[in-house]
Structure 1
């Protein structure tokens, strides 16, 4: 006997899950709430809705139809938020272009995604000049500028963003269509090979929004984001829809603040002036903010910040907590839309002291609703949640990319055995918290053991003199690999901390049984900066190359 499908009344409305639905609640609940862009723009949700309609009409007048792709190159702004809605609501696809890639990579993503229209901030015109003769599909280009500069004097432009909106009607009848229609696409920022295109449907973005909302508001010990919060993203809007949180903020009708280019003093001043209470970023951005001289001049207490993209070290978490910043980890990747877990504390953990809570805050987190997450062994078998058994993180959820754009073989590898394979290694403890211990490709294999580079980095950041660090494996004839640490010292400790000091610091953790002797790096390289990817993660590929060159020079 099979399942019984529901009977549909002929005139019943099926209500497809489309992004346009997210605007209904704020326009009723908080139509006069503010949306702010730097010190330049301030308007309410009613105006947002009108501008979304104007943008759609402007794009339609330029020939954009359902199924077309619109590329966006801008800093975090109200314009980006408008594109998050207008483009997919038309039935077109929004391509959020990573402006921090090289010109050659940007060209590749524009051509590979087959962009029809390109919106570009005037700051990126030098990049456009380098690649415009090789762009294959773009038919119209729209100039974006904060200065109100006209596009008329620039040959090849269809117009300037604000001028096009001003000349367009605010009423647009956004149609219904299949909720499985592609809404967005963008490209992963892997450290090897060409960028890979991922894509998401209206249905996936809607379900991700609702599940993240539940994960951030539905649990007593984790109610961190509500309609009364002031939201400011510090993850680029080109990167996985700024983790999807602009959609959550809009659904809530919360005040939203967009900072433009990430300049530490500007961000911190916006936090204080606009009373920002909720943000998200990678650890390097938080580190940059906490080490800005301006941090001593502003009040950041009460600020809630999700940390993702890389591991949140206990040292950074503790420093942020001392300043009154409620920091906790989130986890996901470009392929997962992205949020899979949040390091929410459980009610009984609220009674723990700060040190014990920090351990949980720095965990990778517990799955948000609708996420089925497990760790698997080499043969794909699920591993016990014992806090010890370590394997690859595999996941299912209704919003995961269904593949890589135009790459069938890589898509099958991603979805081996019907589970999305993250390439991350970790364990799940008896409380259900995931702890990612490393990327498969970053695990250091030495002395017959697997050593987590993330664990070694976490230990290093707890040293009072260490500002930033990274650990990679370098080839070793005897042991296979050995750890090498890159260390950026705090100003007050430069020329005062030696390699032996760092090694002795590690030995303290060996003596306490936290790590094995194989985890103590052979070499410590003191440096002024550490290579990072376009989204602020440690660039382990570049670091491994640099480490190998260092070893060869010392040989």
Structure 2
């Protein structure tokens, strides 16, 4: 006999609690077929039970994987809960990936059905022939907006729900049951799958609602701009129902500054989260329109380093506290957070205070973090010593999904691929990336893949790609090219070479033709030296 109850930590418990305790709290959405949909958590979870019955009617079983190609809205929220609480796996797919990556991810994930937003229909029509295991598609709309489509076995979401009752008996699930699947962007080889469990999701929720982290409560109105296909929307669509926080979801308008401003002001949003590019879009709109955002008191920036401009303008002009988080797909994603300021930091000079606020933050409880040297020895937290970042904890990956390689080191730590230093107050500062990937607008770009593409040009002898600081996208790829002897090539011809070979947003922002490139002693390109050589580079106006 154990002294305490062994109640399972499941997403189902969030749903039941929200419906019973926070049932009257609103969920507001922008969708492709409705500019402002509005209902309550009680309404939402009644429809979740209808969807669970629909999944059963489609012949789906516990353990099956269901893909979503969707934005942040109420139907995607319903899918999250109906799938996971039925013992199935919700596989959120990033539609911005290159088609070959999407094909690999859907097939590797063994997806049985695909739920897709109206705006995603053309994409899935073009890919359905390379998804042989997918049995059918559900378009997330009503009959009035259901498009003519070539998708095989296509169904209308609202029609499926209308045929079902809202009575459903949820299965009793072990907390270690897989609940969701998300893939890395495949910057080195094929994307890798990270399978979250009910337990890891719930523990992650407890972490992000803490006062020193995002700190959601029943008094808040949250606007999750970070896509729900990006590491489960950083957990906000679980944390909000848990705490009784009103949810405001921007749908396909997440990058529109005017829409974000309108939602913030009309729905009285107090907290939001997104990558730097969406904040730049909002600030640009506010500056041009002269409008304000009186209700908003804090925003979380993640996915890429926060530019000082965002921190400064939000704080000085609009009175909004900018907080920064760091993590990754393999971490569910939260690892560190720069939110509430401890007293020693609050007493620093304004200059030193701002430097601290631009760091990636302090490890949250539940995440053990260390930095190590090349010999795997822990380095001091002195603000100077930089090393590889390793983590472990209850919501951190143990092994990649259907992967034969080694995921953890011999001591059970996960190496993040980042290089960082830790200061005496526990703040982490990312100083480099082990594999030289580029982070643009919160998404990864592979420098190696771009280099391989460039050298395939018959006139190119060698090429290097490095990420350079960019005022809007945090980083953009800069291409450096050595031409074959006697050949000539224009900048425009070189950059157009990438068309249809990589995702459009991956294409380098600028191309420079050079006579030589620095190399290491082993003959590899020295990215460190390249970045140093071009430290004064500025993007063309």
| C-alpha contact (below 8 Å) 1:143/1:157 kept by paired residues | no
Tell whether 2:323 aligns with 1:328: yes
Question: Which secondary structure does the structure 2 equivalent of 1:84 belong to?
Answer: helix
The 3 A distance-change label for structure 1 pair 172 and 294 is farther
Tell whether 2:364 aligns with 1:371: no
Pairwise CA distance, 1:300: 2.1
Mapping 1:379-390, distance limit 5 Å: 379-390=375-386
> What is the aligned-residue RMSD (CA, Å)?
2.9
Pairwise CA distance, 1:169: 0.9
The 3 A distance-change label for structure 1 pair 173 and 443 is closer
Tell whether 2:30 aligns with 1:30: no
- Residue matched to 1:531: none
Unaligned runs of 5+ in 1: 1-6, 445-452, 477-515, 529-555
- Residue matched to 2:534: 521
Tell whether 2:313 aligns with 1:319: yes
- Residue matched to 2:75: 79
Mapping 1:466-545, distance limit 5 Å: 470=476, 519=532, 521=534, 524-527=537-540
- Residue matched to 2:507: none
Q: What CA distance in whole angstroms lies between the structure 2 residues aligned with 1:473 and 1:107?
A: 28
- Residue matched to 1:424: 418
The 3 A distance-change label for structure 1 pair 321 and 112 is same
| C-alpha contact (below 8 Å) 2:128/2:151 kept by paired residues | no
- Residue matched to 2:463: none
Tell whether 2:233 aligns with 1:233: no
Q: What CA distance in whole angstroms lies between the structure 2 residues aligned with 1:467 and 1:69?
A: 33
- Residue matched to 2:9: 17
| Equivalent pairs, count | 460
**TM-score for the superposition, normalised by structure 2:** 0.78
Q: What CA distance in whole angstroms lies between the structure 1 residues aligned with 2:249 and 2:14?
A: 19
Unaligned runs of 5+ in 2: 439-465, 483-528
Pairwise CA distance, 1:152: 8.6
Pairwise CA distance, 1:179: 1.3
Pairwise CA distance, 1:183: 0.6
- Residue matched to 1:208: 204
Q: What CA distance in whole angstroms lies between the structure 1 residues aligned with 2:535 and 2:207?
A: 45
- Residue matched to 1:347: 343
Pairwise CA distance, 1:13: 6.2
- Residue matched to 1:538: none
Tell whether 2:253 aligns with 1:258: no
| C-alpha contact (below 8 Å) 2:142/2:156 kept by paired residues | no
**Aligned equivalent of 1:434, options 423, 428, 431:** 428
Mapping 1:123-272, distance limit 5 Å: 123-145=119-141, 148-150=144-146, 156-214=152-210, 217=211, 219=212, 224-261=215-252, 262=254, 263-272=256-265
Pairwise CA distance, 1:382: 0.9
- Residue matched to 2:333: 338
Q: What CA distance in whole angstroms lies between the structure 2 residues aligned with 1:357 and 1:121?
A: 43
Pairwise CA distance, 1:271: 1.2
Tell whether 2:300 aligns with 1:309: no
Pairwise CA distance, 1:191: 3.1
The 3 A distance-change label for structure 1 pair 147 and 434 is farther
**TM-score for the superposition, normalised by structure 1:** 0.77
Bigger share in helix: 1
Question: Which secondary structure does the structure 1 equivalent of 2:534 belong to?
Answer: coil
Q: What CA distance in whole angstroms lies between the structure 2 residues aligned with 1:125 and 1:437?
A: 41
